[in-house]
Amino acid sequence: MQQDFIKKIPYGETRALARFLSLVENETVGYKEILASLTFRTTPVIGITGPPGAGKSTLINQLANHLLTNHKKVAIVAVDPSSPFTHGALMGDRLRMSEHFLNPSLFIRSMATRGSLGGLAPKIFEVCDVLRAAPFDYIIIETVGVGQSEVEIAGLADTTVLVVVPEAGDEIQTIKSGIMEVADIFVINKADRDGSDIFYKNMLSLSHTNANEFWEIPVIKTIATQQKGIEALIEAIHQHAAIPPNSGKKLHLLAQRALVMIKALRTQDISLNSLEKELKENLDKTNFNLYGFIEKFELK
């Protein structure tokens, strides 16, 4: 593998970043050695999660606009749903962020979930580390918004922002045991809609109930389409970043991240294509049992 372009990553050279990220996603031979040779910065990773239709992309667009205006360098990773057959991203780059595409201080990357149920792409941890080797001030991750299984974002992001809309008021009781509990910041977007004030009070009550000695989750009202509430959100992100990394929740989430990476490491020699081929050979056998089929993969 030619490594001339690797020297350009610490300087944030766009083509070098894009090329190496492709090598990481495709697990090209030698990419792990390059990862081990990089020097990583402590760039904060901000996870933006929430149900479809909450306005996550618009909110991220306004966050990026505010940060870029203040001369910050921003990387955005948009994790899209993928085709179950080709595993390619179905949505591609966010067209709603098109106004920033030519800004040299912004890097946008779309990734496919490739069948992952946690709302993230399988190689997202390595991708974020590559971006941390470049001179970005912020890394923003947008997930696909698939519901409670999306708690995986909390193991990756330093700060997890949950975006909801006033219409979600009736759903709070059903989702609070999932992504509600991993959020560090609540954002009520489209706060100009009916019912936003009552919803805001309910969210404040929930936040107060779950408060600990380090943090009480702030509830931020935004109207992303009108650029309202963006400064308050950025301030909340900065305040959360000041929490000690060895606090109870952050330590627990770091352990979750380590567990995800260990699982990926232990299954790296198992591919979907090989499983499909082997299953095809076994499905015609009498009394085929999937549990019996996977027994051979159990670690001894």
Q: Tell whether 5 is covered by a domain.
A: yes
3-state secondary structure of 199: helix
Measured from the Cβ of residue 131, the count of other Cβ atoms closer than 10 Å reads 25
One pLDDT digit (tens) per residue for the chain, 300 residues: 556 778 899 999 999 999 999 998 888 888 888 888 888 998 999 999 888 888 998 999 999 999 999 999 999 998 865 433 334 444 444 445 556 667 889 999 888 665 444 445 568 888 998 999 999 999 999 886 655 445 667 778 889 999 989 886 555 554 555 566 678 999 999 999 998 998 899 888 888 887 878 889 999 999 999 999 999 999 999 999 888 766 666 677 677 777 777 877 788 788 878 888 899 888 888 788 888 888 888 765
pLDDT of residue 258: 77
Torsion sign (Cα): 200, 177, 82, 1: positive
Residue with tokens 């989702």: 175
Classify 29 as helix, strand or coil: coil
- The CATH number given to whatever domain includes residue 55 is 3.40.50.300
Q: How many domains does the chain have?
A: 2
Q: What is the DSSP letter of 193?
A: S
Q: Would 174 be classed as within a structural domain?
A: yes
Q: How far apart are CA 178 and CA 160, in angstroms?
A: 13
Identify the DSSP state of 73.
Answer: -
**pTM of the prediction?**
0.81
- Range of the structural domain that residue 3 is part of: 1-38
29 and 168 co-located in one domain: no
In a domain, 122, yes or no: yes
- Whole-angstrom distance, CA of residue 112 vs CA of residue 110: 7
Q: Both 27 and 103 in a single domain?
A: no
